Structure 1
Amino acid sequence: MDRIDVLRAFVTVGNESSFTKAADKLQLSPQLISKYVSRLEENVGIRLFNRTTRKVHLTEAGLRYFQRAQQVLDDFDDLDSQLSDLQDEARGLLRVSAPVSFATSHLARLINDFRKAHPHVNVDLQLNDRKVDIVEEGFDIALRIGKLKSSSLIAKAIIPIQLVFCAAPAYLAKHGTPTQLEELVNHQLLSYSYMEKTPFWPDGNQAMISNNGDVLVQSAIEGAGITLQPTFICAEAIKSGKLTMILSEFTPEPLGLYAVYPHRKLLASKVRTFIDFLDGYFGTPPYWDRLID
């Protein structure tokens, strides 16, 4: 008697609260399902279900066993999916959501290289800094920057995202270079509108607020004020001397770039292949950070 078949029968009965419904779902006879569950109870030496004429209910021990058994089945199905992916070539349309500034600066080459390696995958890349609803809006994967909160989605960390304070040399020559965070309130600040409230960035004196980091960096280059931006946007300007990093000792903890997708079970080959391609592509540290090390 296959242990996986037994576990699958047990978990399905637990989900359906019925031997008959479980049998219909697995396309097996109710007698065989009952036999599987009885054999499992004999093996573990404990009753897993309380049975009535109408329904079956998990016992306390059965509930604990059910939760672990469900995880075992998920892992087993995920392993099967991975093995299938090794045989099946990635193909189809891959729908990706990504942040605007990161995508415009760093995703074109990656996607071109990805398609060279996997020519049967076409990519629909949609740029948006808001957090899209992956399932509702039909995306296969979303790239997100930040500190992710717990959710039902699966997230894989790709690279750290470093933030730096910076301003044009001409602005600092005219207004002075702050040496403490408290001094920022006396300066013209160029703020990212999606930035979460943080002790590193004061509320007052916002000379400019925008939902696009490229605009803020360009404004800083023009001498409009001080901004706090990820290095993937401003590293080139810092290297060329158009911007100067300041307050380095007060640099916030890095954020992260994450690949987020709805589930890991039966993950499509095109999605898994893209995630694997992302991993390590930008280098460690990312190539833009090496410009200013």
Structure 2
Amino acid sequence: MNRLQAMQTFASVVSEGSFTQAADRLNISPQLVSKYVSQLETHLGVRLLNRTTRRIHLTEAGLQYYQRAQQVLNDIEDMECQLSDLQSEARGTLRISAPVSFAIRHLAPVVADFQQANPALSVDLQLNDRKVDIIEEGFDIALRIGRLKSSSLIAKRIAPIHLLYCASPAYLAEHGEPDSIESLNDHRFLRYTYSDDSQIQNPAGSPAEEHYPLVSNNGDVLTAAAIAGAGIVLQPSFIASEAIKLGQLKVILTEQAPSPIALYAVYAHRQLVASKVRHFIDFIDGYFGDPPYWDALDANPDND
């Protein structure tokens, strides 16, 4: 007995609702359909279907087997489609949502190189630090930075992101250098709107509002303010590394920096991932290097 063929036949009988209709769909005789189902039941040692003259009914075992069998058949189809698409060209429009500062600083070369490798594909890149709903808003992929919560979306880790406490040498010379997270309460802290407060508060609670002389939803604005001496900032290295390299910012509290987060490519869980999505995920994976080039403070930012 060909178990895969028997499984496919049984699933067709259930989905079509009769042996005759399953036979038409599979282009075989109703007698052969019945034979395959009977062989499957004998092999499994359980009855899968209760048959009457007018209709069929799934047994409890039949329902469990059908659900698992359908998943197996879907997985096989998915695998075959992906393998057959490996040589296919990505086409259409790829809609990407990405964080503002990261995209401005690091994403343009990715898109340019990707389009050069896939000339039949156009890219619609929308920048927003807000967490977009990729399904409701029609995006194929969202690039997100942080620690992702469990969801029905698929997330591919692309690169580590290190967060650094920084301040200008002039600010530190005037106000002193903090020696602990708790001592940030004695300083002016420039706060990113979407930051995790656990990274900037002391055990007693959130810092007082006066310690936030500037709050912004853009990391470049906060970094520029820190360079100008406005206070201490917690920013990812992909933003702050250039200023650190130039001596405009000094990294502080190195031993108490938050644990690294990551850049992820997030896309909807579908039975068959579109070729354009799969091509982009494969392309961006490893593009920034390991470690990413922005963490090599003395390196050329060009991606060679």
TM-score bucket (shorter structure): 0.7 to 0.9
CA distance in 1, matches of 2:212, 2:43: 68
Q: Does 1:242 align with 2:242?
A: no
Q: Does 1:56 align with 2:57?
A: yes
1:282 alignment partner, SS class: coil
Q: Does 1:114 align with 2:120?
A: no
Identical residues among aligned pairs (%): 58
Structure 1 runs (4+) deviating above 6 angstroms are 50-55
2:197 alignment partner, SS class: coil
Matched residue, 1:40: 40
Can you list the C-alpha shifts for 1:94-134, whole angstroms capped at 9, x where unaligned? 11111111111110011101111111111000111112111
Q: Does 128-137 or 29-38 show the bigger shift?
A: 29-38
Structure 1 residue 69: deviation in Å? 3.1
Residues 114 and 35 from structure 1, CA distance in 2 versus in 1: closer, same or farther, beyond 3 angstroms? same
| Rg larger in structure | 2
CA distance in 2, matches of 1:62, 1:83: 31
Matched residue, 2:195: 195
Structure 1 residue 37: deviation in Å? 4.2
TM normalised by structure 2 equals 0.84
Matched residue, 1:19: 17
Amino acid across the alignment from 1:254: P
Superposed CA RMSD: 2.9
Structure 1 residue 142: deviation in Å? 0.9
Residues 66 and 255 from structure 1, CA distance in 2 versus in 1: closer, same or farther, beyond 3 angstroms? farther
Q: Does 1:75 align with 2:75?
A: yes
Residues 107 and 54 from structure 1, CA distance in 2 versus in 1: closer, same or farther, beyond 3 angstroms? same
Amino acid across the alignment from 2:134: I
Residues 113 and 57 from structure 1, CA distance in 2 versus in 1: closer, same or farther, beyond 3 angstroms? same
Structure 1 residue 2: deviation in Å? 5.3
Matched residue, 1:291: 297
CA distance in 1, matches of 2:132, 2:172: 38
Q: Does 1:167 align with 2:167?
A: yes
TM normalised by structure 1 equals 0.87
Contact 1:217/1:227 (<8 A) preserved: yes
Contact 1:78/1:264 (<8 A) preserved: no
CA distance in 2, matches of 1:132, 1:221: 30
CA distance in 1, matches of 2:34, 2:169: 77
CA distance in 1, matches of 2:43, 2:62: 13
Matched residue, 1:211: 217
Amino acid across the alignment from 1:19: G
Structure 1 residue 213: deviation in Å? 0.8
Q: Does 1:263 align with 2:264?
A: no
Contact 1:154/1:264 (<8 A) preserved: no
Structure 1 residue 182: deviation in Å? 0.6
Residues 27 and 197 from structure 1, CA distance in 2 versus in 1: closer, same or farther, beyond 3 angstroms? farther
CA distance in 1, matches of 2:143, 2:160: 13
1:195 alignment partner, SS class: coil
Residues 56 and 253 from structure 1, CA distance in 2 versus in 1: closer, same or farther, beyond 3 angstroms? farther
CA distance in 2, matches of 1:229, 1:144: 15
Can you list the C-alpha shifts for 1:132-174, whole angstroms capped at 9, x where unaligned? 1111111111111111111111111111111111111111111
Residues 220 and 50 from structure 1, CA distance in 2 versus in 1: closer, same or farther, beyond 3 angstroms? farther
Contact 1:77/1:265 (<8 A) preserved: no
Matched residue, 2:180: 180
Matched residue, 2:302: none
Matched residue, 1:231: 237
